[in-house]
Structures are given as structure tokens and as C-alpha cells.
Amino acid sequence: MIIAKIQGGIGNQMFQYATGKHLAILNNTELKLDVSSFNEDSLGRKYELHNFNISKRLASREEIRRVINKTLLGSIFSFSKNSSIIKQRFLEYDTEVLKKQDKDIYFDGYWQSEKYFLQIRNHILKEFTLKAANDFNQKFEHILNKIKALDSVGVHVRRGDYVNSHFGQSNYRNIHSEGYYNKAFDLVSGKIKDAVFFMFSDDIEWCKNEYKEVKDLIFIESHQPHEDLILMSSCKHQITANSSFSWWAAWLNNYPQKIIVAPDKWFHNDWNTKDLMPASWTRI
């Protein structure tokens, strides 16, 4: 079996699941999920993938222990014959990961590149659909219908831990202060005559003050994260934040003529992000 360690926010969880799913298909085995990291998540994040139509099975403690114990404890990374642990070595796409063949593999990383699962795109698109479609309230349905009827552009603004935690301030580029969104609004408006912007954020009140002068902008009061993600992905075009959450909203978008705008640089540091965004996206 393939056991994928699931950690972080919903966007990172989706990267981990999609990559693990592809590896499981390549090895003709089942995928199980290790969700134990959420027992001690310092930011209060929780397991979110149960909201999607994924083929979910959770790994037991015994299964996790058995797979990890096949490799010497403390092993960081190895593709050797006797290793059963794959731990991410660097941010860019690692060509060796999907070549790994073993009956049992424990999979630990963030895997932020479509190259890990692009070959099974149609499979992933089907699994990352909302499970409880019949339970959505009228407000959700109203917004969804409006999004589908217009030349809609989903805009994601992430603040939260990016401005309120030392980790976020130290690692993630402040695209707000650099005028990224104003440039993105101008770029999209220049290409789409009747564009209507739908803004999603974990700090929508701040956005209402910051972007109150933008024309044809609708502020969306937050739903559950998985609902917001699907609403964003239903827009014809996207302006993403430097966030895996809006990355997935853009990637799930199946509109043939979609325009995706993304920040050219996501981090303060010099991490190599050449494989982070699809080549078809516009980076500014």
C-alpha cells in the first residue's frame, strides 16, 4: 500500500492526496492516508479531504508503523531497494518520485507541482468534487449560479497566518503591498470586457476596505473552505494568491479559454518555484 502523510491546509492536503493517488496507480496498489498530524497542529488546521468524493481509507497506526519500520528509523530519503520512505528533498519536481516501486511506501512531503499528477488529471477532477451536493444552502447555490452566468473572475486574497504568524511573515511574499492585485485587475480587465470579480478571503472585511474602489467587484462572505474553493474553481478565470488554496481553484477550472494570473514569486527566499505553476498561467 501507499501511505500518504496528510498535513497543512486544504490546498496542501490536495497536493499530497493527488500525488499519492498517482503513485498508488503506478504501483497497482491502494492509497491510505495518515492524518495523525492534525492531532497536534499548532495552527488549528484540520483534515478537509473528507468533503470531496475521494476514495478515502485511513491508515491504522499498525499499518503506518509496519511500513516505516521497513526502513531504518531516522532515514531522511532514499530510493534504494530496501527503503520504504519517500520524503520530499526539494521544492521543485523530483523526477525520481514516481519511479519508486514497492509494495509498501510511506510518503511524506508537500509535492507542489502538477507534474506529480497531471497524467491522471481527469481522475483527480472527478475526485475533487463536493460530496454533499444536495445539502448546500440557497446562498451557495445563488452565488454559484451567478458565477456561472457571468464572465466571472475568482480572486483569492490570503491574509490569516501570512500576516499573523512569524512563519508566514518570514517566508511568504507580501503581494498586497507590492500592488499585485491592482496589476492583476488591470490585466484581466484589459482582456475580458465584461469581467466581474468575485473576491474570496479569510479576512473579507480588510478586503472591503482595501479594494472598495475596484469596479465590478463582489465580496463573498466566507463559506466552508471546501465550498469557497469549489465556488472559485467555478469562475471562468482566476487571480490567485501565493497560496495552494487558490492554486487548486485555478487548476480545477475546466473553462477552455481560462486566464489564470499568479504571483511571479511566492516566497521571500530563493526557493526554486519553476515547477510550482503551470506554464499556461500568467505570472506577474
Picking from 127, 154, 189, the residue at the C-terminal end of a domain is: 127
Place of cell 492534525: 38
Instruction: Specify whether 95 is located in the same domain as 148.
Output: no
Instruction: Specify whether 6 is located in the same domain as 116.
Output: yes
CA distance 18 to 24: 10
**Burial 111-130, CB ≥16 within 10 A → b, else e:** bbbbbbbeebeeebeebbeb
Asked if residues 148 and 244 have their Cβ atoms less than 8 Å apart, the reply is no
pLDDT attached to residue 138: 83
Provide the β-strand partners of residue 200: 156
pLDDT attached to residue 9: 93
Instruction: Specify whether 114 is located in the same domain as 140.
Output: no
Instruction: Specify whether 271 is located in the same domain as 143.
Output: yes
CA distance 3 to 251: 24
Residue 269, domain CATH: 3.40.50.11350
For residue 186 the three cell numbers come to: 488591470
Verdict on whether the full-model pTM lies above 0.95: no
- Kindly write down the DSSP assignment for every residue of 258-276, as one continuous string: --EEE-S--BSS----TTT
Q: In what order do the strands lie in the sheet with 237-239?
A: 217-219, 195-201, 151-157, 237-239, 260-262, 282-283
Full pLDDT tens readout for the chain, 284 residues: 999 999 999 999 999 999 999 999 999 999 999 999 999 877 788 999 999 999 889 999 999 998 887 655 444 444 444 568 899 999 999 999 999 888 899 999 999 999 999 999 999 999 999 987 555 678 889 999 999 999 999 999 988 766 555 554 455 567 777 799 999 999 999 999 999 999 999 999 999 999 999 999 999 987 789 999 999 999 999 999 999 999 999 999 999 999 999 998 887 777 788 999 999 999 99
Instruction: Specify whether 107 is located in the same domain as 159.
Output: no
Instruction: Specify whether 90 is located in the same domain as 226.
Output: no
Instruction: Specify whether 152 is located in the same domain as 266.
Output: yes
pLDDT attached to residue 59: 96
pLDDT attached to residue 75: 47
CA distance 68 to 253: 37
Instruction: Specify whether 80 is located in the same domain as 215.
Output: no
Containing structural domain, residue 279: 136-283
pLDDT attached to residue 73: 46
For 197, what's the count of Cα atoms within 13 Å in the CB-facing half-sphere? 27
pLDDT attached to residue 155: 98
Asked if residues 68 and 84 have their Cβ atoms less than 8 Å apart, the reply is yes
Picking from 79, 94, 127, the residue at the C-terminal end of a domain is: 127
Q: In what order do the strands lie in the sheet with 85-87?
A: 31-34, 2-5, 105-108, 85-87
Q: What is the domain count for the chain?
A: 2
Cα 36 to chain centroid, rounded: 20
With CA atoms as reference, report the closest residue to 284 among 245, 249, 239, 244. 239
Instruction: Specify whether 212 is located in the same domain as 141.
Output: yes
Instruction: Specify whether 123 is located in the same domain as 143.
Output: no
pLDDT attached to residue 251: 98
Asked if residues 94 and 272 have their Cβ atoms less than 8 Å apart, the reply is no
Instruction: Specify whether 168 is located in the same domain as 108.
Output: no
Residue 257's contacts (CB-CB under 8 Å, 6 or more residues apart) are 236
pLDDT attached to residue 10: 97
pLDDT attached to residue 40: 80
Residue 58's contacts (CB-CB under 8 Å, 6 or more residues apart) are 32, 33, 34, 35
For residue 206 the three cell numbers come to: 480588510
For residue 259 the three cell numbers come to: 486566464
Start-to-end CA distance of the chain, whole Å, equals 41
Picking from 127, 144, 175, the residue at the C-terminal end of a domain is: 127
Instruction: Specify whether 144 is located in the same domain as 120.
Output: no
pLDDT attached to residue 76: 45
